[in-house]
């Protein structure tokens, strides 16, 4: 059996218990989308694109009092070790719904009645924690599109591995660990928009894990804001 955490509390990929994987986030990466973002979170590589507000199709789905928010999460066939069939899987349909519901509270949908806002998330490479990385990238893409939001939404997963509470599970820890706890929130408003748990833990462990998740979300939130600032800061011309 793989030793996920050694006697010095060092994880399988060399991180400390509360250490995040490296994160790189960039906005405005697609010319043909109204807003876009690309994130590398560990070995995850994810692209998010936003279109809208735009005319709603089909018409019968139009909402009279707010915009219709659509989201599609898709994993490319080459994103995982074993080739994934190109057609949408049950997990992709589920995660599309989860990402949409995590983002919806932040968007001022009531400002754009009878329209649609479409979010497309394309996972180019997956390595555990793709849902929270997708939420983080999609939120940045929404902001890049200029869509009014109450706050950015940011996600981070925490879990229990080999009896220890750890931050940001990689693929091996996700599959072989005890608990996975994805969390998404609007840090500036202190509101949680996603809380899931795959596995059981004690009340004490949950409180420790949830506190760690919120702390790490705030760190990623700063990276989000920095990426948006850099995306809209004019670049100095070389002299």
CA distance 62 to 104: 16
Tell me the CB-side half-sphere exposure of residue 9, using CA atoms within 13 A.
10
Domains of the chain, by residue range, sit at: 23-229
Backbone angles phi, psi at 151, to 5 degrees: -170, 160
Report, in angstroms and rounded to the nearest whole number, the Rg of the chain calculated over CA atoms: 18
**Domain boundaries 23-229, corresponding CATH code:** 3.30.230.70
| pLDDT 10s digits, 192-224 | 999 999 988 999 999 999 999 999 999 999 999
Q: How far is CA 111 from CA 15, 26, 63, 89, 135, in A?
A: 44, 27, 12, 33, 22
Beta-sheet strand order (sheet of 68-75): 23-27, 35-41, 44-55, 115-125, 68-75
Q: 73, 67, 65: which is closest to 44 by C-alpha?
A: 73
C-alpha–C-alpha distance, residues 228 and 36, integer Å: 11
Closest C-alpha to 15, from 208, 158, 170, 131: 170
Q: pLDDT tens, 2-48?
A: 788 999 999 999 999 999 999 999 999 999 999 999 999 999 999 99
Instruction: Inform me whether the pLDDT recorded for 149 exceeds 60.
Output: yes
Residue 234 confidence (pLDDT) above 70 = no
pTM of the model: 0.93
Residues 6+ apart with CB under 8 A from 178: 159, 160, 161, 162, 163, 199, 201
**Are the beta carbons of 69 and 119 closer than 8 angstroms?**
yes
Per-residue pLDDT reduced to its tens digit, 77-133:
877 767 767 777 889 999 999 999 999 999 999 999 999 999 999 999 999 899 999
pLDDT above 70 covers a percentage of the chain that reads: 95
CA-CA-CA-CA torsion sign (140, 13, 10, 130) = positive
Tokens coding 94 = 């589920």
DSSP bridge partners of 230: none
Provide the mean pLDDT of the chain: 93
Report how far residue 23's alpha carbon sits from residue 37's, in angstroms, rounded to the nearest whole number: 13
Strand residues in 128-235 grouped as ranges (E): 154-161, 164-167, 179-186, 191-195
Closest of 214, 208, 207 to residue 191, by C-alpha? 214
Average pLDDT over residues 159-166: 94
Higher pLDDT: 233 or 97? It is 97
Which has more confidence, 101 or 239?
Answer: 101
């Amino acid at each position: 059996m793989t030793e996920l955490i050694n006697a010095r509390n060092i994880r399988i990929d060399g991180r400390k218990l509360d250490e995040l994987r490296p994160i790189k986030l960039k906005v405005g990466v697609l010319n043909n989308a109204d807003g876009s973002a690309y994130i590398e979170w560990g070995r995850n590589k994810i692209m998010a694109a936003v279109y809208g507000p735009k005319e709603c199709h089909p018409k019968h789905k139009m909402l009279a009092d707010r915009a219709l928010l659509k989201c599609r999460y898709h994993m490319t066939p080459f994103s995982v070790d074993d080739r994934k069939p190109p057609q949408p899987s049950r997990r992709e349909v589920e995660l599309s719904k989860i990402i949409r519901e995590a983002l919806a509270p932040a968007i001022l949908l009531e400002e754009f009645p009878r329209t649609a806002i479409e979010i497309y998330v394309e996972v180019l490479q997956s390595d555990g924690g793709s849902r929270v990385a997708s939420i983080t990238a999609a939120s940045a893409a929404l902001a890049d599109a200029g869509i009014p939001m109450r706050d950015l939404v940011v996600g981070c997963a925490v879990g229990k591995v080999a009896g220890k509470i750890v931050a940001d599970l990689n693929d091996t820890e996700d599959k072989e660990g005890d608990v996975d706890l994805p969390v998404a929130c609007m840090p500036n408003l202190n509101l949680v928009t996603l809380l899931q748990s795959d596995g059981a833990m004690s009340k004490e462990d949950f409180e420790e894990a949830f506190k760690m998740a919120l702390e790490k979300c705030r760190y990623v939130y700063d990276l989000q804001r920095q990426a948006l600032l850099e995306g809209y800061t004019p670049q100095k011309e070389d002299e």
